[in-house]
């Protein structure tokens, strides 16, 4: 990794003088370059910000692999505005020469973008054509139970869908996209095709409903196959043939309309919705009117059999006139002549004619008669309960076409299958996410409000129909007993034609919408490439219209038209929709139980138990509707699943099933070997490096507490330690160390594995742990190691060198690195923060770890009450107001709640204090390189250097010339106690491993506290000097001294000078904003490429974090770990 970085980066001098246009290859760990390209390793030279400013010199060597935040935010502002067609973001064109067209800004709100489209898709043909019949057959109680079950299913599904839809941007494809990205391409493809088939058959159902309204209620004389005089099977066959002929014609016309101009379909959508709303309002108005003036719709009953009111005008056998008794037209229907002595049908002769009111009204008390079900066999008479009937037992019924008959055998489960399509359509909002102004707010609110509204309409309709309409009329599916009127239309005010016309246009509109949406869904599946034989359907016209997919959709829809019966088509699409909804619930439950870091829905009112209940309801309803249809649908889905598994394209979308693989055995390990996890499925799999004391106990137990707070028992954790020696001699110590690790892991509730490595030296042992930890795909991707706190002490002189090599190795291995500083101050698992902030200082973007870690910490009870703040740094040329706006937008799409602040850090002159600190480093380095001193001489030499530097600092008082620097104040006593060890260590380290003259070690890389004093860590003289002189003081002599020192300063290494300036300036602003924060997360700069500068790197890190109680230095692994997508 180090070599790769060197090859693709310019020399240090070039980085300061020219723009770097080098394009680095993607790291192996990325796995998904297309998704990472807006962030890490961007190859767009325009976006590579130059790090030539003095303020950011610490990060200049990595400038072409990790962009500055200020240069990144402008692209983040447009990150969510993706083309909302069937082409999804992961499969977008990635050619270097291509440029995406600007996307029109979203403009629709909750009402127009989600609520009304869902309302239009949910309310439809079943409400107008079958709802009254369902109430009559099943009774008010059972019909209410059916409605409640179905509406509860869709409500639970909507809750799960809202959680998934608000967990990122959902491009076109709706539920297919959500399921495939949550459960994997196999499940996604199988369920996506089932959902496509359901949508296609829904189009057929709407067209059949449209034809039924046309031929039965509007123009019956338009029938091609005449039904006059036909009875039984012949009449039924004629009706079905009419449906087939007209259905094919209407389907062809609609397909042409969709092909020619889909924009006209969208423009007419509001008109169709207005028809639906007007029709429903007319029904409610009519119900209110029945309370005081019921409409006149008489029903003629012979005995207890309901007659078809057709061909007669008076419901009586004879009528009295002035010249005597006269027979009626009804007499002539059942008798062979109009005379009173004519031969009549036996049932007609033996029973009386009764006229009853078809719409008694809401106050009539008819509800009691309609409470319970009255299921019938096919061909049974629709009878009025309570009326006498005389029937000859051995006689065969005649004139059956004059009675209202049951056209199908009815039972409870069949009613469920016919009714369920009336509650589908809840995905309309999520399919339009790209057109919404605020999709993550609009989709849950709009969808749940639409389902609530329609559920109220359906439930109230059951009660109102049962309260207003006579039972015989309710059971009359086609309204034959009420002069051929649509039954629900008899309730409407001011006229039944309001409902007839409204329902006709609404079914036409719904059919057009289905023929518009289904081909696009198929195109989305085809363009994903997961089903090879469907790829041809991914092509279309030049404007993206799915021509071939529309052709296939029309052909499949024709199958439904040929079935020709609304009652037979409805259960088929019920199966497909129920299967789709079942997997939406499953996806939400799996993601919730896995608790993947990317699972951060903005919609909070969900729970895995609700998703599981919704999934169970869907599965139950599938078998309740039709067990054989359910088996067929599941078999189709299973075949598609296996086909995609064995023949489909390789896809990695970060699915939840992939996460479950971590707890499986061989199969899962082999599957994890297929490639790196997707960004959405990424979680920190941590290798914790701990050190042991002489008693083989862990020196940093709080490191495991932090691990527990980061992991919460999820994913992989390996706790590793290194022992020095040989394996044969130290094997017992290794076992003892392993037991000590297990005991501490159990105490800290860290679930994972422990590993002890023995090597001849600690450096190699740590390297072995980093390289060889884990098994196959079950490997760590993050290393957690403590900052070497005693790195300046003589007996620990090698610790800082080992630490820097660890930083280099993790970078080379594309692993993230977390370095807590002052780990003893971190909270234990038993502590609770009741308030405070977790501050993130986002200076460069190296994958999003800084965003993800606070979110993970806040899942733990220790940090739950802490609020998150994100600070980023604006340079001289940056628009800080726009940066704040863009960062706020980005965080919103990430579903992360955090306060945002942009800190302006303009270029300023390098302070005298910075010059002095750098000068001391270089002077010391030169002296220690040229002479080999004894221990006593080392102490004397370092004291002389300290004295001269102290005097120079006292004369100049550097803070008077520049802006105030910041650090916490420490008592002088501590400074005095630490001085001898630090001075001794300083010389010891330099003489043992002499560095080059350009990069000496500086033990005094400190900054100052606003209005107080500088932190004292290395000489008593410095402590006294800094405390004695006020920071803000300045004298003409001091300024004169600064100019007198200029010749010395000009010989300083400019790279060291700029890095020291960066560390001091950053520390100044961090202290000012975050001194009281519970935890500060900060980008960790990489070590210098020139190894001779390692000592200075440690000093720069000390200066950067001076005065902060808890610091977590974060270094990304070279890939994206957070995404806005679902």
pLDDT tens column, 20-78: 333 333 343 333 333 333 444 443 444 444 444 556 677 777 766 777 776 667 665 44
Q: How far is residue 645 from each of residues 81, 195, 616, measured CA to CA in Å?
A: 32, 19, 26
**pLDDT at res. 117:** 83
Handedness of CA 360, 363, 369, 374 (dihedral sign): positive
Tokens of 533: 């034989």
Of residues 492 and 658, the one with the higher pLDDT is 492
Which run of H or of E encompasses 890? helix 880-893
What average pLDDT does this structure show over 739-759? 87
Distance between CA atoms of residues 88 and 537, nearest Å: 16
Handedness of CA 576, 582, 586, 587 (dihedral sign): positive
**pLDDT at res. 514:** 87
What average pLDDT does this structure show over 256-274? 81
Distance between CA atoms of residues 1101 and 789, nearest Å: 12
For 728-741, the DSSP string reads HHHHHHHHHHHHHH
- Helix (H/G/I), strand (E/B), else coil: 1113: strand
**pLDDT at res. 796:** 61
Asked whether the predicted pLDDT for residue 656 surpasses 70, the reply is no
Distance between CA atoms of residues 69 and 949, nearest Å: 37
**pLDDT at res. 682:** 77
Phi, psi angles (nearest 5°) of residue 300: -100, 125
Asked whether the predicted pLDDT for residue 1017 surpasses 90, the reply is no
Asked whether the predicted pLDDT for residue 707 surpasses 50, the reply is yes
User: What value does the mean pLDDT of the chain take?
Assistant: 76
**pLDDT at res. 214:** 92
For 744-772, the DSSP string reads HHHHTT--SEEEEEEESSHHHHHHHHHHH
**pLDDT at res. 797:** 64
Going by C-beta distance under 8 Å and a sequence separation of 6 or more, which residues neighbour residue 610?
Answer: 156, 159, 160
Contact 508, 519 (CB under 8 A): no
Nearest Cα residue to 677 out of 660, 657, 653: 653
Distance between CA atoms of residues 149 and 655, nearest Å: 30
Q: What is the pLDDT of residues 183-209, one digit of tens each?
A: 777 777 887 888 888 889 999 999 999
Q: What is the pLDDT of residues 521-550, one digit of tens each?
A: 888 888 888 888 888 888 877 767 788 899
**pLDDT at res. 1030:** 38
Local confidence band at 393 (pLDDT 50, 70, 90 cut-offs): confident
What average pLDDT does this structure show over 377-389? 88
Instruction: Work out whether strand 318-321 and strand 324-327 pair parallel, antiparallel, or are unpaired.
Output: antiparallel
Distance between CA atoms of residues 420 and 127, nearest Å: 11
Q: What is the pLDDT of residues 1088-1126, one digit of tens each?
A: 877 777 777 888 888 888 888 899 999 988 788 887 766
Question: Helices in 1000-1109 by DSSP H: which ranges?
Answer: 1020-1028, 1036-1044, 1046-1050, 1054-1074, 1094-1104
DSSP 8-state symbol, 28? T
- Helix (H/G/I), strand (E/B), else coil: 1117: coil
- Give 210-249 as a 3 state SS string: HHHHHHHHHCHHHCCCCCCCCCHHHHHHHHHHHHHHHHHH
With DSSP H G I counted as helix, E B as strand and the rest as coil, what are the percentages for the chain, rounded to 5? 55, 10, 35
Tokens of 493: 């005010």
Distance between CA atoms of residues 1121 and 438, nearest Å: 24
Asked whether the predicted pLDDT for residue 95 surpasses 70, the reply is no
**pLDDT at res. 1039:** 42
Local confidence band at 231 (pLDDT 50, 70, 90 cut-offs): confident
Handedness of CA 235, 239, 240, 241 (dihedral sign): positive
Listed range (55-69, 143-157, 411-425, 830-844) with the worst mean pLDDT: 55-69
Of residues 978 and 693, the one with the higher pLDDT is 693
**pLDDT at res. 1014:** 35
Phi/psi class of residue 327: alpha, beta or left (left: φ > 0; alpha: ψ in -120 to 50)? beta
**pLDDT at res. 488:** 92
Asked whether the predicted pLDDT for residue 1026 surpasses 50, the reply is no
CA torsion 67-72-76-77 (nearest 10°) is 180
The pTM for the full model equals 0.69
Share of the chain above pLDDT 70, in %: 73
Listed range (795-799, 835-839, 1027-1031) with the worst mean pLDDT: 1027-1031
**pLDDT at res. 668:** 62
Tokens of 1076: 């009281």
**pLDDT at res. 607:** 92
Distance between CA atoms of residues 1116 and 284, nearest Å: 62
Peptide bond into 227 cis (omega under 30): no
**pLDDT at res. 922:** 61
Identify the burial level of 40 via C-beta atoms within 10 angstroms of its C-beta, where 0-12 means exposed, 13-18 middle and 19 or more buried. Answer: buried
**pLDDT at res. 938:** 53
**pLDDT at res. 131:** 93
Listed range (74-88, 434-448, 480-494, 662-676) with the worst mean pLDDT: 74-88
Asked whether the predicted pLDDT for residue 640 surpasses 80, the reply is yes
Nearest Cα residue to 348 out of 324, 318, 379, 378: 318
Which run of H or of E encompasses 324? strand 324-327
Asked whether the predicted pLDDT for residue 1018 surpasses 80, the reply is no
Going by C-beta distance under 8 Å and a sequence separation of 6 or more, which residues neighbour residue 787?
Answer: 803, 819, 820, 821, 822, 823, 1101, 1113
The distance from CA 945 to its chain's CA centroid, rounded to whole angstroms, is 60
Asked whether the predicted pLDDT for residue 213 surpasses 90, the reply is yes
Listed range (100-114, 141-155, 220-234, 585-599) with the worst mean pLDDT: 100-114
Phi/psi class of residue 504: alpha, beta or left (left: φ > 0; alpha: ψ in -120 to 50)? alpha
Distance between CA atoms of residues 508 and 498, nearest Å: 16
Distance between CA atoms of residues 473 and 23, nearest Å: 77
Going by C-beta distance under 8 Å and a sequence separation of 6 or more, which residues neighbour residue 1061?
Answer: 54, 55, 57, 910, 911, 914
Q: How far is residue 590 from each of residues 617, 641, 665, 1122, measured CA to CA in Å?
A: 17, 18, 19, 19
**pLDDT at res. 299:** 93
Tokens of 87: 């082409």
- Please state the length of the chain: 1126
Asked whether the predicted pLDDT for residue 104 surpasses 80, the reply is no
Q: What is the pLDDT of residues 711-727, one digit of tens each?
A: 755 777 889 888 888 88
Share of the chain above pLDDT 90, in %: 22
What average pLDDT does this structure show over 437-461? 90
């Amino acid at each position: 990794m180090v070599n790769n970085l060197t090859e693709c980066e310019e020399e240090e001098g070039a980085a300061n003088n020219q723009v770097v246009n080098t394009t680095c290859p993607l790291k192996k760990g990325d796995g998904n370059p297309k998704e990472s390209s807006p962030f890490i390793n961007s190859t767009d030279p325009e976006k590579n910000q130059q790090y030539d400013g003095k303020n950011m010199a610490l990060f200049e060597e990595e400038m072409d692999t990790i962009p500055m935040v200020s240069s990144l935010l402008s692209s983040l502002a447009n990150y969510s505005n993706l083309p909302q067609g069937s082409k999804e973001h992961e499969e977008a064109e990635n050619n270097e020469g291509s440029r995406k067209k600007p996307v029109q800004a979203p403009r629709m709100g909750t009402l127009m973008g989600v609520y009304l489209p869902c309302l239009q898709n949910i309310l439809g043909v079943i409400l107008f054509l079958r709802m009254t019949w369902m109430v009559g057959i099943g009774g008010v109680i059972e019909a209410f139970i059916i409605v409640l079950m179905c509406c509860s299913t869709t409500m639970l599904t909507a809750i799960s869908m809202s959680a998934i839809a608000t967990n990122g941007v959902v491009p076109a494809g709706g539920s297919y996209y959500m399921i495939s990205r949550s459960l994997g391409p196999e499940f996604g493809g199988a369920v996506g095709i089932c959902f496509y088939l359901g949508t296609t058959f829904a189009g057929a159902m709407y067209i059949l409903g449209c034809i039924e309204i046309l031929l039965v209620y509007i123009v019956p004389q338009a029938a091609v196959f005449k039904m006059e005089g036909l009875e039984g099977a012949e009449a039924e066959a004629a009706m079905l043939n009419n449906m087939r002929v007209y259905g094919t014609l209407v389907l062809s016309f609609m397909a042409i309309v969709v092909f020619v101009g889909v924009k006209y379909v969208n423009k007419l959508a509001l008109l169709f919705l207005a028809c639906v709303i007007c029709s429903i309002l007319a029904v409610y108005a009519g119900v209110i009117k029945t309370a005081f003036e019921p409409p006149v719709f008489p029903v003629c009953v012979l005995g207890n059999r309901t007659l078809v009111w057709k061909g007669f005008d008076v419901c009586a056998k004879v009528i009295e006139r002035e010249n005597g008794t006269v027979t009626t037209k009804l007499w002539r229907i059942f008798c062979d002549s109009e005379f009173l002595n004519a031969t009549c049908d036996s049932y007609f002769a033996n029973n009386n004619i009764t006229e009853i009111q078809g719409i008694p009204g809401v106050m009539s008390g008819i509800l009691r008669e309609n409470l319970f079900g009255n299921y019938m066999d096919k061909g049974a008479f629709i009878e009025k309960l309570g009326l006498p009937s005389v029937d000859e037992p051995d006689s065969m019924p005649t004139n059956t076409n004059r009675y209202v008959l049951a056209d199908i055998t009815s039972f409870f489960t069949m009613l469920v299958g016919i009714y369920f399509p009336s509650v589908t359509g809840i995905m309309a909002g999520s399919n339009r996410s790209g057109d919404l102004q605020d999709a993550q707010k609009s989709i849950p609110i709009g969808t749940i409000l639409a389902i609530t509204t329609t559920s109220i309409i359906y439930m109230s309709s059951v009660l109102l129909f049962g309260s207003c309409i006579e039972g015989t009329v309710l059971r009359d599916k086609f309204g034959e007993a009420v002069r051929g009127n649509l039954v629900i239309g008899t309730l409407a005010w001011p006229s039944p034609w309001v409902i007839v016309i409204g329902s006709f246009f609404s079914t036409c509109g719904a059919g057009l919408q289905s023929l518009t949406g289904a081909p696009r869904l198929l195109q989305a599946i085809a363009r994903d490439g997961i089903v090879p034989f469907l790829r041809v359907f991914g092509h279309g016209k030049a404007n993206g219209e799915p021509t071939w997919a529309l052709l296939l959709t029309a052909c499949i829809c024709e199958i439904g038209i040929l079935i020709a019966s609304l009652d037979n088509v409805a259960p088929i699409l019920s199966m497909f929709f129920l299967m789709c909804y079942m997997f939406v619930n499953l996806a939400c439950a799996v993601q919730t139980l896995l608790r993947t870091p990317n699972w951060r829905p903005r919609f909070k009112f969900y729970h895995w138990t609700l998703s599981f209940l919704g999934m169970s309801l869907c599965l139950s309803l599938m078998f309740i509707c039709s067990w054989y249809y359910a088996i067929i649908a599941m078999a189709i889905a299973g075949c598609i699943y296996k086909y995609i598994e064995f023949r489909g394209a390789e896809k990695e979308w970060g699915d939840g099933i992939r996460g479950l693989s971590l707890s499986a055995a061989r199969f899962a390990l082999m599957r994890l070997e297929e490639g790196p996890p997707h960004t959405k499925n990424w979680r920190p799999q941590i290798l914790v490096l701990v050190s042991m004391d002489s008693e083989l106990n862990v020196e940093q137990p709080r490191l495991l507490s932090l691990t527990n707070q980061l992991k919460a028992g999820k994913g992989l954790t390996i706790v590793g330690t290194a022992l020095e020696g040989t394996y044969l001699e130290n094997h017992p110590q290794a076992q003892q160390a392993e037991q000590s690790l297990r005991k501490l892991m159990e105490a800290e509730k860290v679930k994972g594995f422990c590993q002890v490595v023995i090597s001849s030296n600690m450096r190699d042992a740590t390297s072995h742990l980093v390289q060889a930890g884990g098994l196959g795909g079950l490997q760590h991707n993050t290393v957690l190691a403590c900052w070497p706190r005693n790195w300046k002490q003589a007996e620990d002189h090698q610790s800082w060198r080992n630490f820097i090599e660890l930083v280099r190795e993790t970078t080379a291995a594309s692993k993230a690195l977390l370095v807590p500083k002052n780990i003893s101050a971190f909270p234990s698992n038993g502590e609770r923060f009741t308030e405070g902030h977790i501050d993130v200082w986002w200076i460069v973007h190296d994958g999003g770890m800084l965003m993800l870690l606070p979110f993970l910490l806040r899942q733990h009870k220790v940090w739950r009450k802490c609020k998150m703040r994100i600070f980023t740094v604006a340079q001289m040329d940056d628009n800080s107001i726009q940066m704040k706006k863009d960062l706020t937008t980005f965080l919103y799409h990430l579903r992360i709640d955090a306060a945002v602040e942009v800190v302006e850090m303009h270029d300023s002159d390098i302070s005298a204090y910075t010059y002095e600190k750098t000068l001391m480093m270089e002077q010391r380095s030169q002296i220690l390189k040229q002479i080999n001193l004894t221990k006593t001489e080392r102490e004397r030499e370092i004291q002389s250097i300290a004295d001269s530097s102290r005097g120079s600092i006292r004369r100049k008082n550097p803070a008077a010339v520049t802006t105030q620097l910041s650090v916490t104040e420490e008592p002088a006593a501590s400074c005095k106690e630490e001085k001898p060890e630090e001075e001794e260590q300083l010389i010891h380290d330099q003489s043992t491993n002499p560095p080059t003259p350009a990069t000496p070690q500086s033990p005094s890389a400190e900054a100052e506290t606003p209005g107080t004093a500088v932190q004292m860590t290395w000489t008593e003289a410095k402590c006294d000097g800094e405390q004695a002189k006020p920071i803000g003081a300045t004298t003409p002599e001091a300024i004169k001294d600064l100019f007198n020192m200029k010749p010395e300063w000009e010989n300083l290494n400019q790279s060291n000078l700029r890095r020291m300036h960066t560390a001091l300036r950053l520390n100044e602003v961090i202290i000012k904003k975050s001194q009281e924060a519970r935890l500060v997360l900060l980008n960790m700069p990489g070590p210098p490429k020139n190894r001779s500068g390692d000592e200075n790197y440690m000093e720069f890190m000390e200066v950067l974090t001076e005065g902060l109680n808890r610091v977590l230095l974060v270094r990304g692994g070279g890939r994206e770990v957070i995404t806005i997508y679902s």
